[in-house]
Structure 1
Amino acid sequence: MRIEIFPDLQALSRKAASYIVEEARASRDRPFTLALSGGSTPREAYRSLADPSFSSLMPWKRTHIFWVDERMVSPTDCDSNYGMVRNLLVSHISVPPENVHPFAGDLPSPEEAAARYEVELKEFFQLGRGQFPEFNLVLLGMGEDGHTASLFPSSKALLETRRLAVPAHSEKPPHSRLTLTLPVLNMAKKIIFLVTGKEKAYTVKRVLKDPREASPLPAGLIQPSLGRVLWLLDEEAASQLRPVRGI
């Protein structure tokens, strides 16, 4: 695990975009699989990645974009994670349409939407029974309560060990969500957390400095056995940690 701290959201977001480009180019001629989150902090990273200074360096033709979680809303709804990424990133880049893999958040049933996404993941990654996909890179945020993706504290989704995607419930609207499961996230080759804001400083400290305090928190359960984890924090989110400044 590595921690980097930045003076503001803009610097953090540009560094995140830089790391995405770095990982994509390192995958050489192989497909590069990228799983994206919703939320206000990742939003700025997508704006940065859409900037020609970064987007021109990306191998978009072999990049496949997936989603970590979604709300059960229409893709044109302002709460849609897919819609947000489409507006800020996808509509500004030359990624082939067939390389964009959103949840079907507009289906009547979250169970059906989760099952459909699981089928898509199994087919794309050519998974056998009991196997999980290995994303090249997963971008995650973290809420003040320690949730990540749509994995909330005390959620039944945290107990899932077999499925790839499941319905989830949020106390905040939209209540009905979809999320990748912990086994999927923990199979990623690299995970980058993007966290900003003083209101998250105590939770950041719990997750990063006290394993006993972190264990009930979903973000503290992101512990890939083989992958790498990088935390990009602004100074406010890192205010209860020993200073370690990113470049």
Structure 2
Amino acid sequence: MTTDIRHAEVEILPDNDAVAEKMAEILIEAIHRKLTSGAPVARIALSGGSTPKRLFEILARPDMAGRIDWKRVELFYGDERHVPAGHADSNHTMALKTLLSHVPIPPGQVHPVPTAGTPAQDAALYQQALQKAYGSDVLQKGRPLFDVVMLGLGPDGHTASLFPDQPVLGEKNLWVSTAAPTHVPHERVTLTYPALASSDLVVFLITGKGKVPMLKRLREGDPSIPAAHVTSDGRILILADRAAAGETP
């Protein structure tokens, strides 16, 4: 059964660190559950931002990293800025510095978004990488592409790089496409709604008082914001801190 944002579970935690700690436990549990089911690997879609950075720092701690069988984890990205490899604005650069260089994950099981060609060319290459990992060119109900998808929420209601008024919002077939928002730096390569929907669990990580109005609209399922159109073949969970929820300390 497809879950939409109006049926998302919501958990309010004290602060950014608590959200990151909770997400770490969710990831560890999801990976363990998938691997003990007999599956060869667990596939995770990472996101960028301040809360994921803190999450990566937590997962890199020896006590946490030791709880994950990294040799059976495949990592992808929900979106990426179309910048050269190693660029400071790259989600992969941040993940590499804070997490990937500290844990024993085989390099071939980390899948950064290619950025050497045009955005359209690189989106096509990333879709091919996802299809190879999935073992099919067609997404199938009951066989999710991702075990966990991590998402954020922008002040304009975007998530991944699904920005308002971008053609990618109408994409029904491609798994990966592009966006060229004019109000933020860099063109983007992003997963589409169909790819995000092929998930066992989608988790929104939302922190900070600046997110109060947009989080309220997300929870109401406001159709005018892109994030509200995310669905999952499994569950959707919103992890927010008290500041983002508008709760006083």
C-alpha offsets along residues 112-167 of structure 1, whole Å, 9 cap, x if unaligned?
A: 10000011111111113465962000011111111000001121111000101111
- Cα separation, 2, equivalents of 1:95 and 1:111: 29
Q: 4+ runs of 1 displaced by more than 3 Å?
A: 128-133
Residues 7 and 74 of structure 1: is their aligned pair in 2 closer, same or farther, counting only changes over 3 Å?
same
Does residue 114 (structure 1) correspond to residue 130 (structure 2)? The answer is no
Q: Which residue of 1 aligns with 2:172?
A: 161
Are 1:125 and 2:134 an aligned pair? yes
- Tell me if structure 2 keeps the 8 A contact 1:6–1:235: yes
Q: Deviations over 1:179-201 (max 9, x none)?
A: 00001101111011100111111
Report the counterpart of residue 46 of structure 2 in structure 1. Answer: 36
Among 60, 84, 97, the alignment partner of 1:74 is 84
TM-score, structure 2 as length reference = 0.90
For 1:1-247, list aligned pairs within 5 A. 1-27=8-34, 28=36, 29-30=38-39, 31-105=41-115, 107-129=116-138, 134-208=145-219, 210-211=220-221, 214-224=222-232, 226-239=233-246
Unaligned runs of 5+ in 2: 1-7
Change (3 A) 1:98 1:199: same
CA contact (8 A) 2:20 2:55 kept: yes
Query: What secondary structure does 1:206 align onto?
Result: helix
Deviates more, 1:51-60 or 1:92-101: 51-60
SS at structure 1 position matched to 2:224: coil
**C-alpha distance in 1 between matches for 2:81 and 2:181:** 9
| Structure 1 range deviating more: 62-71 or 25-34 | 25-34
- Structure 2 Cα separation of the partners of residues 188 and 45 of structure 1: 20
- What is the rounded CA distance, in whole Å, between the counterparts of 1:97 and 1:14 in structure 2? 25
Match of 2:4 in 1: none
Displacement of 1:40 in angstroms is: 1.9
Deviation at 1:24, TM superposition (A): 0.4
State the AA in 1 paired with 2:191. Answer: L
Question: Shift in Å at residue 32 of structure 1?
Answer: 0.3
The one-letter code sitting in structure 1 at the alignment partner of 2:66 is: S
Residues 130 and 10 (structure 1 numbering): CA distance in 2 closer, same or farther, change over 3 Å? closer
**Fraction of identical pairs, as percent:** 37
Query: Number of matched residues?
Result: 236
Structure 1 portions without partners, runs of 5+:
none
1-structure distance, mates of 2:43, 2:166? 27
TM-score w.r.t. the length of structure 1 is: 0.91
Write the distance in 2 (CA, Å) between the matches of 1:35 and 1:10.
Answer: 20
Counterpart-to-counterpart distance in 1, 2:241 and 2:73 = 28
Distance 1:194 1:102 in 2: 21
